[in-house]
Amino acid sequence: MTALDAIRWPAEYEPKSATIHVFNERFISAPPEEVWSWLIRAQQWPSWYPNSADVRFVSGTPPDLALGTRFTWKTFGVRLDSTVREFVPHQRLSWDARGMGIDAYHAWLLQRTAEGCQVITAEVQRGWLARLQNLFLPKRMYQQHQIWLERLNDVVTGRTAIR
């Protein structure tokens, strides 16, 4: 089984039927527990990941995400309404995201290694805005997710202080 196969895609978000499907991964020299603590603190994402803004909890208990938490936020200039659909502490985090022209599912996997953890993130999107993005900016999501992983590494390992 590959890392990509380890993602539990809901039937409506199977990658084979998606307009956009991206997969990124990066090793981080920190245990999954440390990486996890930064991933679930969504309201702090804008302080270290520049493609996120205005994260607000609609339901759930801030500051950390949990199964069923509903939150709104902006990414790629689009306001999204998201709900956490998978939450296995220190291992798996996934949410859906709906906004004007977008219906997406974003999954994170953390796999412990001897030196830290492998962080995998994958997303599928469909909708008219996803089709336009795929046509005019086909690598944009992959590039931004790689930046998300790089900045996650920097904040977890103390290379970047949060604002």
Decide: residue 11, CB within 10 A, 0-12 exposed, 13-18 middle, 19+ buried: exposed
Predicted confidence at residue 132, as pLDDT, reads 83
Whether residue 49 is contained in a domain is answered as yes
What pLDDT was estimated at residue 159? 82
The verdict on residue 12 lying in a domain is: no
161 found inside a domain = no
Q: Tell me how many domains the chain contains.
A: 1
- With a pLDDT cut of 90, the percent of the chain lying above it is 82
CATH number for position 95: 3.30.530.20
Q: Residue 10 domain-assigned?
A: no
Q: Is the peptide bond before 63 cis (omega within 30 degrees of 0)?
A: yes
Residue 1 has pLDDT above 70, yes or no: no
Residues sharing a CB contact under 8 Å with residue 161, sequence separation 6 or more, in sequence order: none
User: Is 9 within the bounds of a domain?
Assistant: no
pLDDT at 6 exceeding the cut of 90: no
C-alpha distances (whole Å) from 132 to each of 14, 19, 58, 128 are 20, 10, 29, 6
How far apart are the C-alpha atoms of 71 and 129, rounded to whole Å? Answer: 21
Q: What is the pLDDT, as a whole number, of residue 95?
A: 98
Give the residue numbers spanning the domain of 110.
19-156
Any domain includes 2: no
pTM across the whole model:
0.93
Q: Within a domain: residue 4?
A: no
Residue 138 lies in a domain: yes
